[in-house]
Structure 1
């Protein structure tokens, strides 16, 4: 009996060892499956203009990406944006230019004048050439057009990035819901408060003493405005009114006033704007009066000091930044969204050249070689975007500083000598062609 009991005990121990081994194998297999499900070739943080443009550009090249968006849906803060020659070149490369052209009117020129009633505005007509194409595009329509080009499931909503860590040649992307993604390439398109930019060593953008109020007015039966960009400036105020199409007008006011707290009610914001533009024509003031309170937003203007980009890591290892995460700027030359689209096309092309590389001998690259090519591709992107970003930030700041300077002498000097120059400077900054999405696999 004792011998039989010992034998039975041995059998039981053996059975438990086999059972534990089976469970261990199941856990290990489950862990590997979860790791595979959590691994991505490219993770893009932020479903704004630069993030979606990059994802669409990669998709056009046959490369899939995952776009993480912290909100529950696409965000269209700012309502609309001016799109110049460089933006249309990027949209053509991405394949959605004609759709957006059909929805928005082409502007024929500018009407520029002082915010006071002292001097009537002057007109500057735009030549009917490709390089002078300007339209005011609904931000929501732009984001929806980009998102519609992506495969289902590309955008992952309610996915907020909170932490980045190394994992060999990969990056581990930790989200606020506790999930973790492992990625070969991490692209930060997460705006002025970018987590990815901070990881790369960027400082927080500089906060200016200027506030921007933006709005979008809807006119069901038509607004009656000519296809012009109406702009007014002086006494620390710069304002603009731009028709998007027959039924909507986008407007903005930037100012250096300290009378308005950022938590002010929408009613007080609207009244503040009306006080600022009280001397402008009635049809201009009617645009603000018609705007619903839900269609207004106010924010403090920020920018990245251009000299920071001289030594900053736009790209490091397999991580880079684009859009406002790279070059936040004041809106004075209308290039924030336009340059974000440039970023998307150029970044997609540089990554495409790295990822789609084929060894001439038909040999498969190992992981180390693949990682190195991605690193080189991102450095190429950074090299192409550094000086362009510096130039845009500087031009934006200078134009805003001149147009919002106070004093009669400065207003007179701007009116007599700088008004035409500043308008032409905006056009000059837009004369940039980001190129197509064709890649060189040499």
Structure 2
């Protein structure tokens, strides 16, 4: 997703781009993405018609397992404060929207990267099919198990955290699918959440401890019903009633270090390849889109043409602090419980909303640039 977003931005500004995708075709499976104001701001700057994607989110209700509401995060207020919507979008729809803005020949499928070699005339990327490509600059947007990151820095430091999400994107016979409000239902060591994603679809998931090497159960639904079946929350019960094994995908949470300079020479990284962290604050896709925006800006103009490597270092410096903060804030134990001191419901709502708006602003390069009047050329 981040690679397509970058290609979209660079192509629109006259660069010749080539995206090499390991999969045999554009991925149309998977679940959904939560786009917060920093992610939607980056997409808008890259020329994507954001309002046509998914469903706008106006609120997130935090509940206890018995269905009692603890607090509400006012996402509409956050959007108004930061100037851009919060949206839930099926991943396939976003990928198709990004790819639609590229020349047909720009994306090549079935291209698994095996190595990256720096040469005096530019980096050379080798692929499993025996072909190789030389470029002025190479960007590894190849995820948490990045081959490009390994080629730059050796053995990966990415490790599973001991948690996993079981997630799906499905129709649900519930008012949730048609509104703009999602929910998070929590207990110590367990969580369920659901968000409307447009067209009658709901993105839902369960977070729970899941150690490295633990086998996937024969029936994930039976496992989830065993762990969450005693919850009386009506949304959770609806999900468990209609869940099917074939719809569920496990998503182990991982974390890796965020280097101050994550590239070298005319090679850099983007998204999870540069800063892998758990999905606890919903910033994974948003930070990848921020990277795509910032790298498009860094590679635009005569300075970048004269010295691509220096342009890549400017991008890394611009993004490091905020990406590192997003990584640090995404520790599961810190954010999944939404700890609240004793206070009134209205005070809790204001505190939760204000804290999250401040967090989004603090991890966003594109929102800070917008306040300073910096725009893509």
TM (norm. structure 1) is: 0.74
Identify the range of structure 1 (423-432 vs 136-145) with the bigger mean alpha-carbon deviation.
Answer: 423-432
1:273 maps onto 2:224 in alignment:
yes
Q: For 2:122 and 2:375, how far apart are their aligned partners in 1?
A: 26
Q: How far is 1:221 from its partner?
A: 9.4
Q: How far is 1:387 from its partner?
A: 0.5
Q: How far is 1:106 from its partner?
A: 1.6
Contact 1:210 1:254 (C-alpha < 8 Å) held by counterparts:
yes
> Which residue does 2:259 correspond to in 1?
309
Q: For 2:259 and 2:348, how far apart are their aligned partners in 1?
A: 29
Q: For 2:136 and 2:35, how far apart are their aligned partners in 1?
A: 33
Cα deviation 1:386-406 (Å, max 9, x = unaligned): 111110001111xx213557x
The correspondence of residues 16-31 of structure 1 with structure 2, limited to 5 A, is none
1:380 maps onto 2:314 in alignment:
yes
1:201 maps onto 2:188 in alignment:
no
Q: For 2:206 and 2:213, how far apart are their aligned partners in 1?
A: 13
> Which residue does 2:195 correspond to in 1?
242
DSSP 3-state at the match of 1:252: strand
> Which residue does 1:408 correspond to in 2?
none
The correspondence of residues 349-368 of structure 1 with structure 2, limited to 5 A, is 349-354=297-302
> Which residue does 1:392 correspond to in 2?
326
Q: For 2:121 and 2:313, how far apart are their aligned partners in 1?
A: 16
Q: How far is 1:204 from its partner?
A: 2.6
Contact 2:161 2:211 (C-alpha < 8 Å) held by counterparts:
no
Q: How far is 1:330 from its partner?
A: 0.8
DSSP 3-state at the match of 1:213: strand
DSSP 3-state at the match of 2:142: coil
Contact 2:72 2:352 (C-alpha < 8 Å) held by counterparts:
no
Cα deviation 1:235-265 (Å, max 9, x = unaligned): 2012211011250100111111559934323
Greater helix content = 1
> Which residue does 2:99 correspond to in 1?
147
**Where in structure 1 do 4 or more consecutive aligned residues deviate above 6 Å?**
none
Structure 1 residues not aligned, in runs of 5+: 1-48, 358-369, 406-410
Aligned residue pair count: 360
CA RMSD, aligned part only?
Answer: 2.8
> Which residue does 2:18 correspond to in 1?
66
Q: Of residues 290, 293, 299 in structure 2, which corresponds to 1:342?
A: 290
Q: Of residues 270, 274, 280 in structure 2, which corresponds to 1:326?
A: 274
